[in-house]
Amino acid sequence: MKQTQKLALANSQRLAVMGRMRMADWIEMPEREFAREIEKLEKDALFQKLYFGDGRIPGALHRQRWPGGKLSSSFYEIDERTAAGSGERVGVEEFAATRGPALAAIKRMGQADFERYFLHGEEALTLAEIGRRTGMKPEEVQAVHELVLELGARAEFEAKVSAPSAAPGRQATCLAQISLKSGAPTFEFYAPYWARGLYQVRHDLLDRWKDGGLTPGERKHLPALLKRLETINLRQSTLFRLLEMVARLQADYLKSEHPEDIRPISLRQLAKRLDLAPSTVSRAFSRRSVRLPSERELPLIAFVPGRRSVLRELLGQWLGVSVAVTDAALVERLKAERGISVSRRTVNAVRHELHAVRRR
């Protein structure tokens, strides 16, 4: 009996480890690849049935927006060349021929209706009902829905960033522009799948679908679909929690964008605050960036400088004004002005590092 219990425990632990490994892969997954996973999920026939409903049973899948999150206005400035994306084999002419009418439909219906019916899905509506409300044909509604999914995988907003990233020499995917509004962080996401937020399951409606709305094959496929939704939600909520925490911790820096205003935060400290593994935070920050209110782009890793890095920045500025100040005075100033507690030995060591750099 005890041996059986040990085996059961071992299997449970093994499954937990495997689950963490799979989630690590999802966290590290490049945004373009993840967007393709979203596209694959939302084009699944069962997903569409449960999302749009069939007129008899309302859709059981909805979305929940991020606090302070919205779609960047730059999305509405897209043209065929932008949508085709850099490095894509699909030509501009082909894209314009296949997706141009859907782009025109988005502009024709206006931002408010587009976000209400295609981005956030504020109501459980069938494709036919969306068409009736927007004055679009069913095939146009479907084309717009597919275009939104496709743009997530194409419009990757990659750019060279202005500070070293966790992957030198690699381009970073810019997730959003971060700013502060009444002291709270706001996020203007560039990709539609980010602006949409998390998937929500209405279990009361899902039970109705199970009772009489699904075929045997669909009921068999349902657990895998729900598991995929759960995985995607966990991946996105982990990344968003990191974005939100970084924005709150570095609020002073976001306001001024002065290097001396950035707080010393390590990956380990950030991971502890969010009850995550440091390796998870490191993977999350790899090859991802954000834009500041000034439009300057920075890699996420730049928002978690270690204490040594911040000390070099601050002492470099202060000693540039007066080198006669004592180590003890610098320790007191760091505590009083920046809330940083360090020893005189640490200040002296950083001071020598700066002196050695100047002598080169």
Q: What is the pLDDT of residues 92-130, one digit of tens each?
A: 455 555 667 888 888 888 889 989 888 888 787 888 899
Q: How many CA atoms lie within 13 A of 119 on its CB side?
A: 26
**Residue 232 or 93, more confident:** 232
The Cα 7–Cα 25 span in angstroms is 27
Give residue 166's pLDDT band: very low, low, confident or very high (50, 70, 90).
very low
pLDDT band at residue 328 using 50, 70 and 90 as cut-offs: confident
Residue 286 scores a pLDDT above 60: yes
User: Is residue 21 predicted with pLDDT exceeding 80?
Assistant: no
Helix then strand count (H, E) for the chain reads 17, 8
The region of weakest confidence among 29-38, 124-133, 147-156, 320-329 is 147-156
Cβ contact 56:213 at 8 Å: yes
Tell me what pLDDT residue 226 has: 96
Instruction: Describe the chain by its helix, strand, coil percentages, rounded to 5.
Output: 65, 10, 25
Q: Which two tokens stand for residue 359?
A: 């002598």
Name the band, by pLDDT with cuts 50, 70 and 90, for residue 211.
very high
User: Distance between CA atoms of 128 and 139, rounded to whole angstroms?
Assistant: 10
Please tell me the distance from the alpha carbon of residue 294 to that of residue 256, in angstroms, as a whole number.
Answer: 10
Confidence of residue 89 (pLDDT cuts 50, 70, 90): very low
* Gap between the Cα atoms of 270 and 242, Å rounded: 8
Q: What is the pLDDT of residue 332?
A: 80
Q: Are 24 and 280 in contact (CB under 8 A)?
A: yes
9 exposure class (CB count in 10 Å sphere: 0-12, 13-18, 19+)? exposed
* Identity of residue 223: P
pLDDT tens sequence across 26-45: 999 999 899 999 999 999 99
Query: Do residues 298 and 289 make contact, with C-beta atoms less than 8 angstroms apart?
Result: yes
Look at residue 299 and tell me whether its pLDDT is greater than 50: yes
Query: pLDDT at position 159, please?
Result: 43
Q: Residue 319 corresponds to which tokens in the numbers above?
A: 């000693």
Which stretch of 98-112, 126-140, 286-300 has the lowest confidence by average pLDDT?
98-112
Q: Which two tokens stand for residue 335?
A: 């505590």
Q: What is the pLDDT of residue 228?
A: 96
- Tell me what pLDDT residue 359 has: 65
Residue 4: predicted pLDDT: 47
pLDDT at 16 over 50: no
Q: How many other CB atoms are found less than 10 A from the CB of residue 300?
A: 23
How is residue 320 annotated by DSSP?
H
Q: Indicate whether 77 pLDDT > 50.
A: yes
The pTM of this model reads: 0.77
If you average pLDDT over residues 129-138, what whole number do you get? 88
pLDDT of residue 105: 84
What would the mean pLDDT of 83-99 be, rounded to a whole number? Answer: 51
* Residue 102 contacts residue 140 (beta carbons within 8 Å): yes
Q: N- to C-terminal Cα distance for the chain?
A: 71
Record the tokens describing residue 29, joined without a space.
């997954």
Contact 175, 58 (CB under 8 A): no
Answer yes or no: is pLDDT of 240 > 60.
Answer: yes
User: Given a cut of 70, is residue 330 above it in pLDDT?
Assistant: yes
What amino acid is encoded at 164 in this protein?
Answer: P
- Kindly report the number of other CB atoms within 10 A of residue 193's CB atom: 23
**Residues 259-269 pLDDT 10s:** 878 888 888 88
Q: How many residues does the chain have?
A: 360
Contacts of 211 (CB under 8 A, 6+ apart): none
Residue-level pLDDT at 92: 45
